[in-house]
Amino acid sequence: MKEKIKTKEELINILNKERKNKNIIWTNGCFYLIHDGHKNYLKEARSYGDILIVGINSDSSIKKLKNRNPIKNEYERALDLAALPYVNYVIIFNELSPLKILKLIKPSVYVKGGDYTIDTINQEERRFIESYGAEIKITQLTKGVSTTKLLQNEMPYF
């Protein structure tokens, strides 16, 4: 599984070789605890193209975004995602937004989970994706499953 976790430079080199005639799919998130909702969303995301890249927020960016530390560290979360057969590559980013990586990768398809709408996704990312004609897809939401619910049920004092 470790071989699926890439640095920015490694990923760009791979994509320069693999990109021809293939659709690159990008999605990202914190992925605190991988659950069935994440799995369904990532499986659907993979159906939109050939190579699924999942960006995950680093521990430090989660601390800034959520004002708390993640339950699992960034490497453990990356390994959890890399274990999924429909995920091709995982990359960890330190920024609050993956915009810098998006500008390097230029995915064919940008995917967000069903808890987003076209109006609630990061609008700077949206403008960039639309600027070169890539698709934006919102996956189906798996009802009744969320990290928040898991934490409340399993760790009520979290």
Q: pLDDT digit string (tens) for 4-43? A: 999 999 999 999 998 888 999 999 999 988 888 899 999 9
| Alpha carbon distance 112, 150 (integer Å) | 20
Please state, in angstroms and rounded to a whole number, the distance separating the CA atoms of residues 86 and 47.
9
Q: What is the pTM of this model?
A: 0.90
What value does the mean pLDDT take over residues 68-83? 94
Burial category of 99 from C-beta neighbours within 10 Å (exposed 0-12, middle 13-18, buried 19 and up)? middle
The H or E element containing residue 90 is strand 89-93
| Token output for 143 | 């009802």
Has residue 151 got a pLDDT over 70? no
Amino acid letter for position 37: G
Joined tokens for residue 43: 């499986």
Look at residues 100, 80, 103 and name the one whose alpha carbon lies nearest to residue 90. Answer: 80
**Exposed, middle or buried by CB within 10 Å (0-12, 13-18, 19+), for 102?**
buried
Phi/psi at 20 (nearest 5 deg)? -55, 125
All domains of the chain in start order, with CATH? 2-154 (3.40.50.620)
- Mean pLDDT of the 54-70 span: 93
What would the pLDDT profile of 86-135 be if each residue is shown by its tens digit?
999 999 999 999 999 999 999 999 999 998 999 999 999 999 999 999 99
